[in-house]
Amino acid sequence: MIETDIGREGLIERIDELLEARYRSADLFNLDDPLAEAVFILLSQQTREAVYRRVFESLRRRYARWLDVLAAPSAELEAVLEPAGFHRRRAIQLRALLSCHAGE
């Protein structure tokens, strides 16, 4: 066995590097904006990847700002969310999430 002085943290970092080189990180479509990420996660629940990605893109195309989603008529928002299923429930959850953010 080869002894080194890299310490525990250095060892963990090296293991991480080797695993990354061997297996690559999964692309989970993570977003830089935490609010967009929360919306993306909400849409992904019990929904196939291709569908929730398409619905998220439709939502972003239709509404320039997240505040515009809050101002949208319920029927309009539900229509955008419908392909993902549970569109009424998701509309309520999405509005609750965005209302919390808008209140900050």
Q: Does a structural domain hold residue 88?
A: yes
Number of folded domains in the chain? 1
Low-confidence ranges of the chain (pLDDT < 70): 1-5, 26-29, 31, 104
Q: Does a structural domain hold residue 47?
A: yes
Q: Which two tokens stand for residue 26?
A: 């999964």
Residues 6+ apart with CB under 8 A from 77: 69, 91, 94, 95
pLDDT at 56: 95
Q: Residue 100 to residues 8, 70, 72: CA-CA distances in angstroms?
A: 41, 11, 16
pTM of the model: 0.71
Domain of 93 in residue numbering reads as 34-102
pLDDT at 6: 75
pLDDT at 57: 95
